């Protein structure tokens, strides 16, 4: 079973690497923006592949200098902003109604909604800024911001500012590693399953506590 899961992970990774490389071969720099826009709308295209490949394929392999790594970060951040704005306005337009109607199926109560609105009214700026730098959260932070109707100009500004260090750092990593990426992945690949197991355990613990909390609220 574990061998099959490892194989599945490797196949998915190989497909994403091949797909991203093909996009860059055809579109060049605009491909970075398009892929990062998709990544920022909960489509499973990891920035951890998109941006390092930009630093590798579009900067290092073309013999370009360090300033182009910064350019890669800018293209990536613009993509994050584009995708996030789409997600923000969808959540702003219909998110509250959908959460009230279907939120219980994803463990979100109306009390949570009120709390989120108050939180973003007071701390929306720093929440978006930090959230953009955290894997797993960065692709979802636009939803509560939209539901809470955070000021759109502030949302855009802090989305870009928060995204830039992330995209720049990943692009720099890809530039620094270059062809060594595959060798490093061969070393790190055995840790994929243990990491996945830990993530699943943490999710299970969170769901258990969340269900218990909702049950206590309803009593």
CA dihedral 73, 76, 82, 86 (to 10 degrees): -130
Instruction: Identify the pLDDT of residue 166.
Output: 92
Burial 156-195 (b: 16+ CB within 10 A, else e): eebbbebbbebbbbbbbbbbebeeebeeeeeeeeeeeeee
Which residue from 6, 30, 31 is spatially nearest to 19, judged by alpha carbons? 31
Low-confidence spans in the chain with pLDDT less than 70: 1-6, 99-110, 112, 181-196, 199, 202-203, 206-207, 209-219
3-state secondary structure of 189: helix
Return the closest-CA partner of residue 157 out of 133, 129, 134: 129
Give the residue among 138, 133, 141 at the shortest CA–CA distance from 116: 141
pLDDT at 127: 85
Predicted pLDDT of residue 43:
79
Other beta carbons within 10 Å of 1: 5
* pLDDT at residue 201, as a whole number: 76
Report residue 28: phi and psi, to 5°: 70, -140
CB within 8 Å of 143: residues ≥ 6 apart: 87, 88, 91, 95
**Range of the structural domain that residue 117 is part of:** 2-218
Give dist(CA 31, CA 23) in Å, integer. 6
Residues 6+ apart with CB under 8 A from 55: 69, 72, 170, 171, 172, 173, 174, 175, 176
* C-alpha distances out from residue 116 to 29, 108, 133, Å: 37, 11, 20
Give the three-state DSSP class for 11.
helix
Return the pLDDT at 120: 78
Q: What tokens does 217 get?
A: 């609220």
For the chain, what is the domain count? 1
pLDDT at 200: 72
């Amino acid at each position: 079973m574990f061998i099959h899961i490892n194989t599945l992970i490797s196949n998915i990774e190989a497909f994403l690497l091949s797909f991203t490389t093909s996009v860059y071969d055809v579109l060049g720099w605009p491909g970075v923006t398009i892929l990062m826009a998709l990544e920022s709308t909960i489509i499973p295209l990891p920035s951890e592949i998109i941006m390092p490949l930009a630093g590798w394929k579009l900067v290092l392999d073309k013999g370009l200098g360090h300033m182009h790594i910064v350019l890669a970060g800018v293209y990536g951040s613009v993509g994050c902003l584009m995708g996030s704005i789409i997600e923000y306005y969808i959540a702003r337009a219909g998110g509250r109604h959908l959460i009230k109607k279907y939120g219980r199926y994803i463990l979100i109560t109306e009390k949570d909604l009120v709390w989120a609105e108050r939180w973003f009214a007071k701390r929306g700026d720093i929440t978006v800024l930090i959230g953009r730098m955290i894997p797993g959260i960065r692709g979802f932070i636009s939803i509560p911001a939209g539901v809470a109707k955070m000021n759109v100009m502030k949302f855009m500004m802090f989305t870009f500012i928060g995204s830039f260090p992330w995209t720049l750092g990943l692009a720099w990593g890809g530039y620094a590693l270059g062809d060594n990426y595959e060798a490093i992945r061969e070393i790190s690949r055995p840790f994929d399953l243990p990491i996945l197991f830990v993530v699943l355990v943490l999710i299970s613990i969170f769901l258990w506590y969340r269900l218990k909390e909702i049950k206590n609220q309803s009593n």
